[in-house]
Structure 1
Amino acid sequence: MLLQNGSLLSEFQDDLLQEHFSDLVKFVKAYASEDQSSSMERLAIAHVEPLVKDFASRWKAAVELMLKDVITSFSNLLCIRMEILKEEVAQLLEHHSRLSECVKLIKGGSALNKNLVSITSIYEIRKYSRTV
């Protein structure tokens, strides 16, 4: 049934990202998806600094937990597991990119550059998709 219903699969993916990166998802929905100029006026470095530091400190562990969740939920479906993981990584990269864009636009945001995880580092996740 899950395979036949793409919305259930999509819901699983959304829930998985929300479970492990809820603050980042909320931020992207609240700020990064709005008109950049109006949302940046309301946003201060104090809003994004905790997100940047939290993401930097635990993204690898969270991705490993997501991988375990996918393997557990789709134990007999290798191709589905790989597809889900690819989609999750793409979504995570998109959210992280939006956060990075916001940091660049915030007054004083450049102070957080040292804490931002590079996109290259996040692509390291590819190694996990080979072990699925």
Structure 2
Amino acid sequence: IDGCSFNQAIHLDLGIDVIKALISPITIKEKDCNGNTPLHLLCGRRDVSSELLTIILNAYPEAVMEKDGHFGTPLSYICCNENAPLEIFQKLLDEWLRVKENRSSHSVNSLIMDMKDGTPGGTRRRIIRDDVEE
């Protein structure tokens, strides 16, 4: 985690109050040695906090577009995270779609292809889940 205090706080699950105390225009954009932003780390956690997601997105909405050292976005992380609630996926997708260039069919198709290539077979289960009532 490279000494990035904000990233360490998320990794160690130090709680919302500590996160709020550490958040700044600089810390919210910190990347670790793997290129992970705080949003990447949060989306990879087993227990993704909706409140923390909202705090991070409010402070740095562009984080949804950031890529790690392997070109993964937070949205691709959440698609691989089978423990994350569908509402978390929806929040990230909504934020991703706010960016005008992401609303083209090419961008949506690229997102789908990135998720298919970058996941161990879980993307379809993640997007089409059996826990969603119709």
Query: What TM-score, normalized to structure 2?
Result: 0.30
Query: What TM-score, normalized to structure 1?
Result: 0.30
- Higher helix share goes to which structure? 1
Structure possessing the higher relative contact order (Cα contacts under 8 Å, 6 or more residues apart): 1
- Which structure has the larger Rg? 1
